[in-house]
Chain A
């Protein structure tokens, strides 16, 4: 009796195993770039536009990919002066004045770093550096 049950369960396991990877792979269009240790040799800067007015900001929670060593160009349009904190290693700050301004950031370590306005208490962008 036990062996029959064992067989049944093994069969179920085999079916799930066969089905699992197939469905997982089918839903994936392109293979993810797993070799994140290779530094992307992107030459041009990544551009990011940020708008801040009052208690509102845009974007809110967007993900932006940047290469290690690549320049991130942040164009800020703000109605008042303020600061953005980037929780990278080590942390970086962007101080901006009212009006339009452009700032450049680079990252020497990979990771996922939120860019936050502490005045608003909001995460504007999450930077994915690889």
Chain B
């Protein structure tokens, strides 16, 4: 009976109450203009002083060879365990691959990177495979045959992220085993070829999961300065996000796809995608792509709607500001997927005990029950969601403000920010509307 049932549950949270959405929207609006009117007039982040070194014992552990090897081994062992479920497991809803892929990996990336920094880089199975292959062939894993072309920037990761969200949100057979196996196989193959050609620089720019994790990690307190482990305020850390081509595309894919995930459940969209004679998959494909394009284009237009300093190109502005969308992305993801992560995450841990669907209880988690506390407390959940979205918005507005102080000519520092502010407010209110009305 499980054969054709969905691997990923379609259950969603109750809409947030209208008052909460309105209160959140008003708070976002008020805070935005307060920041614009009252905040500092000279750039504040990362000007001058050295950052604080991390506590000595933390640095000693994190920098030690055994710790690096341990993380790599644990990550790779987990990868092999799940890969064996993918290869030898059955095409059933209880195959843990689905939950690991859609929930633990995709949604789990956000809290883990917020807490621990760029964790995917530390455990990345494709980096480990690349290192093993390099060892076998006697080459250096960090260096490939060629230099990674700088003008590609994050574009390959943006494509990879799009391939993920398309698979998750549009592709109709995403809950069957063979397409998911194929997706993962293609991902691993591209990563290994890219790693062999361009070395580790490839993973920094082209591995969708590593790029996602490392960008979110910019909102953590951890960073390195001259190789030393340091702690910074998340705002100062965020400010150091490397500006590279494709960053706007990455943030647009993340934000647009999350919005589409809510939007596609609405009655209006269901009527449109299912009612007409058009193929629902194409309608959904265009819906997803459309939202991503709207996010990317409106953000870029707003970033460029200002006077620029002499010698500065206007079209460099979207890229220079793109990092400030990441907090909005993180707030959105938390609001949209918190229950999913907590409840389906527990379900996945239960399923992990039985990787081949034989009734085994390998990890001893097989007979655990799911705690549905969050589902039973919709008001608490609604508060968390609104706080997540509004907090993300505030951090984004502050980040964009500080960057404007750095990049815009003195006379236009305030008016130059207005368009950007309005777009961010629109994204936030749009997000709250989706939480309220979808």
Interface residue ranges, A against B (CB under 8 Å) = 2, 5-6, 9-10, 12-13, 16-17, 20-21, 24-25, 28, 31-37, 60-63, 85, 87-89, 91, 93, 109-114, 116, 118, 121-123, 126, 128-130
Q: Is B311 on the interface with A (CB-CB < 8 A)?
A: no
Given A24-B25, A91-B5, A112-B13, the answer on whether A10 and B37 have CB atoms closer than 8 Å is yes
User: Is the beta-carbon distance between B9 and A28 smaller than 8 angstroms?
Assistant: no
Given A12-B33, A34-B19, A37-B379, the answer on whether A128 and B6 have CB atoms closer than 8 Å is no
User: Is the beta-carbon distance between A21 and B22 smaller than 8 angstroms?
Assistant: yes
User: Is the beta-carbon distance between A13 and B12 smaller than 8 angstroms?
Assistant: no
* B4, B11, B20: residue with the most chain A Cβ atoms closer than 10 Å: B11
Contact string against A for B residues 13-36, beta-carbon threshold 8 Å, 1 for contact and 0 otherwise: 111011110100110011011101
Given A85-B5, A87-B11, A111-B12, the answer on whether A9 and B29 have CB atoms closer than 8 Å is no
Minimum C-beta distance from A121 to chain B (A): 6
User: Is the beta-carbon distance between A9 and B274 smaller than 8 angstroms?
Assistant: no
B19: contacting residue among A31, A91, A116, A122, CB under 8 A = A31
User: Is the beta-carbon distance between B14 and A130 smaller than 8 angstroms?
Assistant: yes
For A9, the chain B residues whose CB sits under 8 A away are 33, 36-37, 414
Given A9-B37, A35-B379, the answer on whether A112 and B18 have CB atoms closer than 8 Å is no
For A88, the chain B residues whose CB sits under 8 A away are 11
* B15, B32, B274, B376: residue with the most chain A Cβ atoms closer than 10 Å: B274
B26: contacting residue among A12, A21, A34, A85, CB under 8 A = A21
Q: Is B359 on the interface with A (CB-CB < 8 A)?
A: no
In the complex, identify which listed stretch (B179-187, B224-232, B265-273, B395-403) lies at the interface while the others stay far away. B265-273
Given A37-B378, A110-B376, A112-B15, the answer on whether A20 and B29 have CB atoms closer than 8 Å is yes
Contact string against A for B residues 269-295, beta-carbon threshold 8 Å, 1 for contact and 0 otherwise: 111001100001000000000000000
Q: Is B343 on the interface with A (CB-CB < 8 A)?
A: yes
Interface of B is mostly: helix
A-B contacts, 17 listed (Cβ < 8 Å)? A5-B414, A9-B33, A13-B37, A17-B29, A20-B29, A21-B22, A24-B22, A32-B18, A33-B17, A34-B19, A34-B20, A61-B267, A113-B11, A118-B6, A123-B274, A129-B14, A130-B14
Complex alpha-carbon distance, A126 and B206, angstroms: 38
Given A21-B22, A89-B9, A109-B372, the answer on whether A37 and B14 have CB atoms closer than 8 Å is no
Q: Which of B352-367 contact A (CB under 8 A)?
A: none
User: Is the beta-carbon distance between A122 and B274 smaller than 8 angstroms?
Assistant: yes
With A61-B269, A111-B12, A113-B10 already in contact, 4 other A-B pairs whose C-beta atoms are closer than 8 Å = A16-B29, A33-B17, A36-B379, A114-B11
For A93, the chain B residues whose CB sits under 8 A away are 1
For A25, the chain B residues whose CB sits under 8 A away are 22
Q: How many residues of B contact A (CB 8 A)?
A: 45
Interface of A is mostly: mixed
B270: contacting residue among A5, A37, A118, A123, CB under 8 A = A123
For B372, the chain A residues whose CB sits under 8 A away are 89, 109
For B343, the chain A residues whose CB sits under 8 A away are 89
User: Is the beta-carbon distance between B378 and A60 smaller than 8 angstroms?
Assistant: no
Complex alpha-carbon distance, A129 and B11, angstroms: 11
Given A6-B37, A13-B33, A61-B275, the answer on whether A112 and B265 have CB atoms closer than 8 Å is yes
Closest to B8 in A: A87
Complex alpha-carbon distance, A33 and B22, angstroms: 14
Closest to A83 in B: B4
Minimum C-beta distance from A24 to chain B (A): 5
Complex alpha-carbon distance, A77 and B376, angstroms: 34
User: Is the beta-carbon distance between B265 and A114 smaller than 8 angstroms?
Assistant: yes
Minimum C-beta distance from B99 to chain A (A): 14
User: Is the beta-carbon distance between B34 and A60 smaller than 8 angstroms?
Assistant: no
Closest to B18 in A: A32
Closest to B429 in A: A20
Minimum C-beta distance from B394 to chain A (A): 15
Q: Is B41 on the interface with A (CB-CB < 8 A)?
A: yes
Given A13-B37, A87-B11, the answer on whether A32 and B274 have CB atoms closer than 8 Å is no
Q: Is B430 on the interface with A (CB-CB < 8 A)?
A: no
Closest to B271 in A: A61
Q: Is B375 on the interface with A (CB-CB < 8 A)?
A: yes
Complex alpha-carbon distance, A112 and B271, angstroms: 17
Closest to A63 in B: B267
Minimum C-beta distance from A49 to chain B (A): 17
Minimum C-beta distance from A8 to chain B (A): 9
User: Is the beta-carbon distance between B378 and A110 smaller than 8 angstroms?
Assistant: yes
User: Is the beta-carbon distance between A32 and B17 smaller than 8 angstroms?
Assistant: yes
User: Is the beta-carbon distance between A126 and B11 smaller than 8 angstroms?
Assistant: no
User: Is the beta-carbon distance between A87 and B37 smaller than 8 angstroms?
Assistant: no
For B172, the chain A residues whose CB sits under 8 A away are 121
User: Is the beta-carbon distance between B26 and A32 smaller than 8 angstroms?
Assistant: no
For B41, the chain A residues whose CB sits under 8 A away are 2
